[in-house]
Structure 1
Amino acid sequence: MTKFYLAACLGLSLIFAGSRTFAQDSTRAQFPNMLANSYIGVHAGYIDYPFTNALLAPGYSAEKIVKPFPAVKVILGHEFNKYFSAQISYLRPVLWVEYRNVNGDNGEHAIFMNVFGVTGKGMLPLSKKLTAYAEAGGAIVTRAGFNTNNVQIAGSTNYLTYELGAGLHYKMNKRADLVGSVTYAAGNTNEKQPRTMFYGLGVNYYMRPLSKEAVAKNSSGHYVFPHNVIQIGYSTNAIGYGINYWFSKAPIPVFWDGNIRATHGITLQYQRNSFHGRRFFQIDWGANVSYFQTELNKQDFFTVSLYPAMRFWPLRTKPFDLYFNAAVAGPTYFSEKLLDNRITGEHFTFYDYLGMGFLMGAQRNLNFEFRIAHYSNGNIFYDNPGILIPMCFNLGYAF
């Protein structure tokens, strides 16, 4: 099953790969073939899964089962033509199901659950603006149960099933569709897992090939978008974990922390530009190899990651250019399954980072960057404590 995850997510990374020096050029000012007509969708809606006391071990029952209905589905896909697309999706509730007051314990016990899908999508145009679709494929349903006094009350599971869906696209403009959808993921009687239904409304944004005029405009500026960047970085908790927690616990969180914390580490990284706009935005793909040590048991672990990344350039000055960058869900090989007395899942996980950096020098060859990072399997395995990586200081050479 791990090979299934890896193949699906590596396939997603390839969508973002493929770049065609240092100044702007027409090849990088146009979306590469594997990125053109790819899309991202964010859908919100109603989730329904009929959890009951049948999930609990014999002799246990909850006074109340709370099933919050808001849910979010994130989609990454590629449109091969107007009749067929392929996509991966991640569906989870905003708040977890809770079993309350189990056998009079006055506790609240969360059931963590999500659905990771890989589907093909058939499209039927009904008019210039309206298109119907149906989709089918595989899904991995993950559920993390709970224990009380070292007794398993609700079991955890991770199983492969099928996923079906249907809906309508309304074309708002060339790059964005309003999508209404219904998704069904089959349950599993042996695992005491009910079926999952999701009714959603959201927007799909498409990276359509740019016109010749837009490509010429992107290529006409004098701003630097480095084609390649090589970095070496050192992570340390010498300044604490305050920055990690600030971004993860803000009123509107924009990043993640973790239950396992690294104290220090070394990262070697390479990034290559795939697309850039005229001044502010670029898309890269990257790879890194890293070593870290944990805080509690001083355990060493190693990672190898591939990832798509975005870079935003809000400030261009004569001595330096300032950027913010981020990567999300980069497929990663993780060397350990147990760290600081906690099961981390499998050897497959995801890599995320959030950073700020500078390009300096007359040729903009010198690079300095601050970064925080996080490893998590996104709950595709029921053990997912998350790994917090403290501030990383990176020195790089751009060319």
Structure 2
Amino acid sequence: MRLKQCAYFVILIMLIFPPHTFGFPHYGGRLSAILLGKEPAQIQGYQLMVYYDPGSLAWDKLSLYFDGGFSHFYVDNIAHYADIQIYSAAPVLRYAFLDTTHITTFLEASIGLAYLNHTRLKNRNLGIHFAFQDRLGVGALIGPQKRINIGLHAVHYSNAHLSSHNSGLTALLVFDIGYQFNS
């Protein structure tokens, strides 16, 4: 019964606030590099992400797209638990606050699922192989067709206490650069 009520609520919201544009779907890729780590402080690494925007999930300045990818994080100068690979998928909510002919600036937030190939990095016990990826940041789409995107984000991985161990991983500042392949 709860699921049915939820479905009715979503339909009602979409009728009240219909998407203002039914744009064409597009996809792209992004490369990210950690500029400042926090947990552990010496964390370094990169992310390779792909994204898909169906083009139909946009309301005024708010839109929803989906991304997924691979992350490789590591800590230098330690013998054990020196690196970790993470596979993730998430919906991303984007709010465009400035939109001109050649630039669109935005805020975005995301919470998604992640799989970690190890449960430890350095002295951090991550508990289990499954985690949530939280991502918050700012960015811009630039160029005549707004195909190039750049951004700064914070990224955090945690199992939300699904395990008795939940040290988590945090990169406070991650630089992104990407390209949209079609529009």
Corresponding residue number in structure 2 for 1:159? none
Task: Report the alpha carbon displacement of residue 280 of structure 1 after superposing the two structures with TM.
Answer: 0.5
Secondary structure (helix, strand or coil) at the match of 1:210 reads helix
**What TM-score does the superposition give when structure 1 sets the normalisation length?**
0.40
Amino acid aligned to 2:52: R
Unmatched segments (≥5 aa) in structure 1? 1-77, 87-173, 176-205, 242-257
| CA 375–392 in structure 1, closer or farther in 2 if over 3 Å, else same | same
Task: Report the alpha carbon displacement of residue 212 of structure 1 after superposing the two structures with TM.
Answer: 10
Corresponding residue number in structure 1 for 2:18? 214
Structure 1: distance between partners of 2:76 and 2:155: 15
Corresponding residue number in structure 1 for 2:97? 314
Amino acid aligned to 1:284: Y
Secondary structure (helix, strand or coil) at the match of 1:208 reads helix
Task: Report the alpha carbon displacement of residue 318 of structure 1 after superposing the two structures with TM.
Answer: 2.5
Structure 2: distance between partners of 1:333 and 1:213: 35
Corresponding residue number in structure 1 for 2:65? 284
| CA 315–348 in structure 1, closer or farther in 2 if over 3 Å, else same | same
- Is the CA contact 1:264–1:390 (under 8 Å) kept in the aligned structure 2? no
- Is the CA contact 1:303–1:332 (under 8 Å) kept in the aligned structure 2? yes
* CA distances 1:105-152 after superposition (whole Å, capped 9, x unpaired): xxxxxxxxxxxxxxxxxxxxxxxxxxxxxxxxxxxxxxxxxxxxxxxx
Structure 2: distance between partners of 1:312 and 1:231: 19
Task: Report the alpha carbon displacement of residue 231 of structure 1 after superposing the two structures with TM.
Answer: 0.5
Structure 1: distance between partners of 2:102 and 2:59: 20
- Is the CA contact 2:126–2:168 (under 8 Å) kept in the aligned structure 1? yes
Q: Please point out which of 230, 233, 242 is paired with 2:32.
A: 233
> 1:62-211 counterparts in 2 under 5 A?
79=3, 81=4, 175=9, 206=10, 208=12, 210-211=14-15
| CA 295–325 in structure 1, closer or farther in 2 if over 3 Å, else same | farther
Amino acid aligned to 2:45: G
Corresponding residue number in structure 2 for 1:369? 151
Structure 2: distance between partners of 1:225 and 1:292: 34
Secondary structure (helix, strand or coil) at the match of 1:219 reads coil
Amino acid aligned to 1:370: L
* Higher RCO (CA-CA < 8 Å; seq separation 6+): 2
Structure 2: distance between partners of 1:212 and 1:227: 26
Task: Report the alpha carbon displacement of residue 301 of structure 1 after superposing the two structures with TM.
Answer: 1.0
Amino acid aligned to 1:341: N
Structure 2: distance between partners of 1:336 and 1:266: 17
Amino acid aligned to 2:63: Q
| CA 383–293 in structure 1, closer or farther in 2 if over 3 Å, else same | same
Q: Please point out which of 171, 174, 179 is paired with 1:397.
A: 179
Secondary structure (helix, strand or coil) at the match of 2:14 reads coil
Amino-acid identity (%): 24
Structure with greater Cα Rg: 1
- Is the CA contact 2:58–2:64 (under 8 Å) kept in the aligned structure 1? no
| CA 370–342 in structure 1, closer or farther in 2 if over 3 Å, else same | closer
Structure 2: distance between partners of 1:326 and 1:294: 26
Task: Report the alpha carbon displacement of residue 276 of structure 1 after superposing the two structures with TM.
Answer: 3.0
Task: Report the alpha carbon displacement of residue 294 of structure 1 after superposing the two structures with TM.
Answer: 2.9
Runs of 4+ deviating beyond 6 Å: none
Structure 2: distance between partners of 1:332 and 1:207: 29
